[in-house]
Structure 1
Amino acid sequence: MDNFMRLLSKFRQIVFIVCLLFLSGCVNTAVLQDIPSQIGEIIVTVEAVTTPTPAANPDPIILADDTAVPWYAIYFTEPNCVPPEARSGGLDEMLAAEILAAQESIDVAAFDLDAEPIVNALIEMEKRGIPVRVVTDSTNAAQSSIRRLRRNGISVPEDKRRALMHNKFMVIDGRIVWTGSMNYTSNGVYCNNNNLVRFDSPALALNYITEMDEMYIDRSFGPDSPENTPSTRLTIEGVTVENYFAPETEISPLIGRLVARAEEEILFMAFSFTDNVIGEALLGRADAGVSVRGVFENSGSDTIYSFYPYMEATELANLDVRRDGNPRIMHHKVFIIDRETVLLGSFNFSESANYKNDENIVIVHDPEFAAQFVEEFERIWQEAQPDS
């Protein structure tokens, strides 16, 4: 199965490159003759792609407007943390529906995975013969949900190290990417504030498949991962999208540069914020007159490592930070720059995320996309309590 998945991944990359050559008018028959014979007799049928209809909007989810721009859909949890037996209609069921609609392949990189609808859907697709690949962090590899996957024939490699395989992404059929802050757990869906974004882009999917190959096939985690993302900067429907993976790419300096370019406003939501590079960049822009507002997850925010006490104690009039009001977890990892650019993903703003953990981020440069995250920020901001 590993050899098949490696060949399938290689085949997708070749098809993607050939398509680009066709579009640019640079292809000829010699290019086609160069396709490696090792791929074997793979027959490709091109059909109209039908996007699965998302589940109806239930109470535990806030859906942003996903009707105007078909290449992305944005979802936010609305935590109510009802008892486990009463939990239904959430994003776990939406992801399960996406899995069950898969025709070719399913890749899941999950730091934590215990949501029953997702686990059941993965097992069902393995029974149907659809290739299913799952990787997880060793911290959570012994839990019953992972054991169930393995008992049902799904190989689940783990990173086997102290640092974290902290990704939360899914790739369906080599074109649909789900990523964001949400762990694939019942609490992640029903108790914690999270974001989840669905992208429809074969080029973006190829980036994530390449990362998955490193972990699933090559067992390369953390600093051992090669810096080989096919397209770190893409254009999707006229919108510039950036995509990076840590620790092969240092994300903290990248965020620092993004923050340093802010001209009017910076908004952020942070589960963890201890990174000096990012913190100093924020303080520098606030000192330069840029409006900065941020919400910190309450737990851990009063430690000497967190930037919350330092920011809260500053006398900069245009810097305002609060601790979140969710009695459970505010789990977002988001920056919004000038209401035009959004950074999202699994990356906590910490040195461990930058240098040790397996992480991913997406940066979308689009005011319409950003507007939906601004709305979520304002909702979290209103629920948060300023220190007196």
Structure 2
Amino acid sequence: MAGKGRSPKGGKKPSWQRFLREWGIYLLIGAAIVAVFLFLGRGGGKANLATVTPYRVYFTQGELGHPRPAGLEAEIIADIAAASRGVELATPGLDLPQLAEALIAARARGVTVQVVEDLSRQEDPAVQEVAARLQESGIPVLWRSRLGESFLVIDARIAWVGSWDLSRRGLEEDAGLVLRCELVPLAADFHAEFTEMALEAFAGGFLRLPTAVKTPHPYLAIPDGPSLSVYRTPEDAALSGVLQALARAQDEILVLGELSDPRLAERLLAEASRSTMLTVWAVLGEGGSDPNLLRGLAERKVNLGLYTGPGRMYENVLVVDGQNVAIFSQPMAQEAYDRNDGYVLLVRDRELGQLLQRELARLYAGAKKAE
């Protein structure tokens, strides 16, 4: 896993030295995080303020969102190329050779690069090829089970997050939502998540730390702008805020993605029935959604479209009243929340809500055209 450098005497460095060089800092950081947060909750509810433009919004399909003339992968590679300290990447299966070369180039100029992937994708030939190339270049690739998220942290300053799969299929075929967030507190949240996963992966991929590393900044606020709450699965009660937002809906609920979680399905059906003033729109992936939910929505005359585009419907998003947005890192399934490492972002932002209204309109029109 480590590089092929040699000791001053010309022999290969012992494996333990190579491990300490690549992962020693993470062991120290992980131990410190566990010690500090062992007795802390979710940050005491205190908001962290940020004063920068919070994020760029990208969609893997269509023309909405931030411009990406050379493609979304090129946008990510540009950030990696500008990295000066560290890049942490977690994704189920990395099979993007150009992005891998950007990681290798970053390491060659002294940037610390670490990668965590999912054991279930380890046998995929394209994933194997990229992982081997990274390892040959001295970049550690650790494997763990039940990885239900994709994210990057760059220089402890930029976090790429969203409802997406960082893979060839995820960027070129699936319908996905990606946020590039230049928020130091949010980057710290995902650095803590990466550190925990890396420690568990090093222990064999199946180990869970006895006490989960807490999210350092679960509540983020931008003056005169959006606010964000970060929930991690399976550690946090990720659905509580989502269910409360649905129960308070007054005008409109939008649903995108694959939905089979019975708690969300029950709440959504209840809200669709309780008021003629409340409008529900949904574009769902048929393969990953509960058939009973689809029938129930149709019976309640909800504005329902079944996704017909290429790849998967991976924009797993709920929007309530045009401004309360829930972004899921994985399909909305109870087993995923209860078992997989993932996250849910609750964002209060009318501009983001309006952008997602336009995205739903695009997908809904495509679904109806295909009927």
Give percent identity, aligned residues only.
26
For 1:205, the equivalent position in structure 2 comes to 187
Counterpart among 59, 67, 81 of residue 76 in structure 1:
59
For 1:39, the equivalent position in structure 2 comes to none
- Which has the larger displacement, 115-124 or 333-342? 115-124
> CA 1:268/1:223 → structure 2, altered by over 3 Å: closer, same or farther?
farther
Contact 1:250 1:355 in 2 (8 A): no
Deviation of 1:124 (Å):
1.3
| Corresponding residue SS for 1:266 | strand
Q: Distance in 2 between matches of 1:223 and 1:240?
A: 33
Q: Distance in 1 between matches of 2:252 and 2:77?
A: 37
| Corresponding residue SS for 2:311 | coil
> CA 1:133/1:327 → structure 2, altered by over 3 Å: closer, same or farther?
closer
Gap runs ≥5 in structure 1: 15-68, 81-87
Deviation of 1:144 (Å):
1.5
Deviation of 1:256 (Å):
1.8
For 1:140, the equivalent position in structure 2 comes to 121
For 1:251, the equivalent position in structure 2 comes to 238
Gap runs ≥5 in structure 2: 1-21, 37-51, 64-68
Deviation of 1:300 (Å):
4.3
- Which has the larger displacement, 254-263 or 352-361? 254-263
Q: Give the letter aligned to residue 287 of structure 1.
A: S
Counterpart among 177, 200, 206 of residue 195 in structure 1:
177
* TM-score normalised by structure 1 residue count: 0.75
> CA 1:283/1:96 → structure 2, altered by over 3 Å: closer, same or farther?
same
State yes or no: 1:366 paired with 2:349.
Answer: yes
State yes or no: 1:293 paired with 2:281.
Answer: yes
Q: Distance in 2 between matches of 1:222 and 1:211?
A: 16
For 1:375, the equivalent position in structure 2 comes to 358
Q: Give the letter aligned to residue 278 of structure 1.
A: L
Deviation of 1:380 (Å):
1.0
Q: Distance in 1 between matches of 2:370 and 2:62?
A: 23
Deviation of 1:157 (Å):
1.2
| Corresponding residue SS for 1:111 | coil
For 1:107, the equivalent position in structure 2 comes to 88
State yes or no: 1:274 paired with 2:260.
Answer: yes
For 1:29, the equivalent position in structure 2 comes to none
Which whole-Å deviations, capped at 9, do the CAs of 1:138-176 have from their partners, x for residues lacking one? Answer: 0112421122212221111111x4xx2011111111011
For 1:124, the equivalent position in structure 2 comes to 105
Contact 1:269 1:332 in 2 (8 A): yes
Which whole-Å deviations, capped at 9, do the CAs of 1:294-348 have from their partners, x for residues lacking one? Answer: 11113344x64x6223322x2x24x222101204322211111100111114131
For 2:329, the equivalent position in structure 1 comes to 346
Contact 1:227 1:248 in 2 (8 A): no
Q: RMSD between aligned alpha carbons?
A: 2.8
1:155-194 → structure 2 map (5 Å cutoff):
155-159=140-144, 161=145, 164-194=146-176
* TM-score normalised by structure 2 residue count: 0.79
For 1:4, the equivalent position in structure 2 comes to 25
